[in-house]
């Protein structure tokens, strides 16, 4: 592993100063993805700025109106175990509770989960200078692509790795980003960017910006669910995941958000499936229609056509679970 300085910040201002002070410095919180990158020789920073001890970023808070705020340093285990989140935002608790393994969830933060880099093996292997690492090819196109995307691909085709992002986009959550120019709040659905905008990044986090908080509006999770399909029942990356959040009015769906994970380069809004639900009562028929509509526009690669059928089945199942 490349050697580096380890700086510890206690405030976000200190963290930004420590970051700016030395060229080629990066932030770390739980450190799981950063250590993985170091071990794979994908990064060689001069300095890691550890923000794990920054105060005020590790609280879960529900205000009087029911709006949820989660500090970026809250671990996945805490999100999954939180009684308020389990009750009012069940898709988020479910997604965080199924991510990784118990040991990783005790260390990995929700902020890091949102900002982690893709898992595509060509990206993760040092020897492949793929388009995500400044090369000019996505090796998945002609290579082994069974885990790659069926939506939003080109010129790179890695699935977005975050489990937490899937329900957060479904809930219309927003992310608070603190940077040198001040603080901005970005809807989660606009934070993630397609590779045709910039194949080397997955989001719009700016230079020197720190993700400090996740905000979820009250009642967004009132009727919501999340499920994922893995090849192993235990600890494994999902091959497909889906979060559904609906608002009902007089027995039929007034609005719906259906978001797919692990099948697109960003958390993927299945807008046709959402449209298929609106105006319909929740039930077997609308679940079937939503499942069929969810794969609208799918462009499977050579080895991942199975994901199309999994999306249909999973969306049908998750919508039906809300009926």
Partner 1 sequence: MARKLPAAEDQSRAPGFSRRNFLKTAGVGAAASTVVGVGGACTKEPTVIGPDATTLRLRVNGTTQTVTVEPRVTLLNALRNELDLTGAKEVCNRGACGGCTVLLDGDPIKACMMLAADAEGHEITTVEGLGSPDEMSPLQKAFVEADALQCGFCTPGFVVSGTALLAKNPDPTLDEIKDGLAGNLCRCGTYSRIFEAVQKTARRG
Residue found under tokens 């393994």: 101
- Does the protein bind partner 1 through residue 67 (CB under 8 A)? no
Q: Which is nearer to partner 1, 32 or 310 (CB)?
A: 32
Q: Is 95 a binder of partner 1 (CB under 8 A)?
A: no
Rounded CA gap, 315 and 300, in Å?
A: 17
Q: Is 50 in the site for partner 1 (CB under 8 A)?
A: yes
Residues contacting 167, CB < 8 A, separation 6+: 89, 91, 92, 94, 95, 221, 224, 226, 243, 245, 259
Tell me: does residue 93 bind partner 1 (CB under 8 A).
Answer: no
* Residue at token pair 């079937």: 288
Element (H, E) at 38: helix 32-39
Of these, 26, 42, 43, 52, which contacts partner 1 (CB under 8 A)? 52
Q: What residues have CB less than 8 Å from 143, skipping those under 6 apart?
A: 122
Task: Return the CA Rg of the chain.
Answer: 19
Stretch that binds partner 1, among 73-81, 143-151, 209-217, 311-319 (CB under 8 A): 73-81
Residue 36, interface with partner 1 (CB under 8 A)? yes
Q: How far is the CB of 2 from partner 1 (least distance, A)?
A: 7
Residues 174-213 that bind partner 1 (CB under 8 A): none
Tell me how many residues contact partner 1 (CB under 8 A). Answer: 44
| Residue 258 burial (CB count, 10 A) | 28
Q: Taking contact as CB under 8 A, which single stretch among the options 52-60, 193-201, 210-218, 314-322 is the one that binds partner 1?
A: 52-60
CB of 287 to partner 1, least distance (A): 26
Q: Cβ–Cβ contacts within 10 Å for residue 33, how many?
A: 18
- Nearest of 37, 5, 33, 40 to residue 21 by alpha carbon: 5
Q: Which residues contact 81 (CB under 8 A, 6 or more apart)?
A: 93, 97
DSSP output for 245-287: EEEEETTEEEEEEEEEESSBSS-EE-HHHHHHHTTSPSSHHHH
CB of 169 to partner 1, least distance (A): 25
**Which region, judged by CB under 8 A, interacts with partner 1, from 77-85, 180-188, 272-280, 314-322?**
77-85
Rule CB under 8 A: choose which of 27, 32, 138, 290 binds partner 1: 32
Candidates 4-12, 165-173, 249-257, 293-301: pick the segment binding partner 1 (CB under 8 A).
Answer: 4-12
Residues in region 215-254 near partner 1 by CB under 8 A: 233-235
Q: Which residues in this chain contact partner 1 in the complex, by CB under 8 A? A: 1-11, 14, 17-18, 31-32, 35-36, 38-39, 47-48, 50, 52-53, 59-63, 77-78, 81-82, 100-104, 106-107, 233-235
């Amino acid at each position: 592993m490349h050697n580096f300085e380890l700086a510890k910040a206690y405030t976000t201002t200190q963290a930004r100063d420590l970051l700016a002070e030395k060229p080629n410095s990066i932030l770390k919180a739980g450190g799981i993805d950063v250590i993985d990158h170091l071990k794979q020789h994908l990064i060689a920073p001069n300095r890691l700025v550890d923000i794990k001890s920054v105060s005020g970023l590790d609280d879960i808070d529900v205000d009087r109106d029911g709006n949820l705020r989660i500090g970026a340093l809250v671990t996945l285990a805490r999100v999954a175990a939180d009684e308020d989140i389990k009750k009012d935002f069940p898709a988020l608790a479910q997604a965080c509770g199924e991510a990784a393994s118990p040991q990783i969830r005790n260390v990995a933060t929700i902020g890091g989960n949102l900002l982690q880099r893709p898992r595509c093996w060509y990206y993760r292997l040092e020897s492949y200078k793929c388009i995500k690492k400044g090369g000019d090819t996505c090796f998945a196109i002609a290579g082994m692509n069974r885990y790659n995307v069926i939506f939003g691909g080109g010129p790179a085709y890695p699935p977005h790795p975050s489990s937490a992002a899937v329900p957060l986009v479904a809930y219309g959550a927003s992310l608070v980003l603190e940077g040198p120019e001040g603080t901005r709040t970005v809807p989660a659905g606009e934070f993630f960017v397609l590779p045709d905008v910039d194949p080397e990044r997955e989001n719009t986090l700016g230079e020197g910006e720190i993700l400090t908080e996740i905000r979820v509006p009250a009642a967004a999770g009132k009727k919501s669910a999340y499920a994922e399909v893995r090849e192993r029942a235990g600890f494994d990356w999902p091959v497909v995941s889906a979060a559904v959040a609906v608002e009902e009015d007089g027995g039929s769906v007034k609005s719906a958000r259906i978001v797919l994970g692990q099948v697109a380069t960003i958390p993927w809004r299945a807008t046709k499936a959402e449209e298929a639900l609106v105006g319909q009562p929740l039930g077997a028929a609308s679940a079937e229609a939503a499942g069929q509509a969810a794969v609208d526009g799918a462009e499977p690669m050579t080895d991942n056509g199975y994901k199309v059928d999994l999306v249909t089945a999973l969306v049908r199942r998750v919508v039906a679970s809300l009926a």
